[in-house]
Amino acid sequence: MDQDLIRVLEKISNALEENTTILNRIADHYDGVVPVMTRNANRVEKAHIEVEEDNRSPLDKMYGQLFGDKEPETTN
């Protein structure tokens, strides 16, 4: 009976070591991927905000450059 208990405890110990190794590999992958994903998400958000802030058409932007950022006059 003592030998059976020792074998069970050794199996548990080996399983824990294997799980620790796997979890460390997952953590290393996570640490490598998440900063890149965060950086890309921040870039997309910044680009989206810039588009929302300046949603003028290309023609309106051209008029702004030509006439000092005045809105093009419309005739009724």
The answer as to whether 18 is a domain residue is yes
Kindly state whether residue 6 falls inside one of the protein's structural domains: no
- The pLDDT value recorded for residue 69 is 63
* One-letter identity of residue 26: I
Whether 33 is covered by a domain: the verdict is: yes
Q: What are phi and psi of 16, to 5 degrees?
A: -65, -40
Q: Is the dihedral of CA 10, 12, 14, 20 positive or negative?
A: negative
CA–CA distances in Å: residue 39 to residues 29, 36, 44: 16, 5, 9
Residue 14 is predicted with a pLDDT of 97
The pTM score is 0.50
Give me the tens of pLDDT residue by residue for the chain, a chain 76 residues long. 789 999 999 999 999 999 999 999 999 999 999 999 999 999 999 888 877 777 777 787 788 788 876 555 555 5
Residues spanned by the domain of 49: 13-67
Angle at Cα 59 formed by Cα 54 and Cα 60, nearest 5°? 45
Q: What is the pLDDT of residue 17?
A: 97
How many whole angstroms separate alpha carbon 56 and alpha carbon 65? Answer: 12
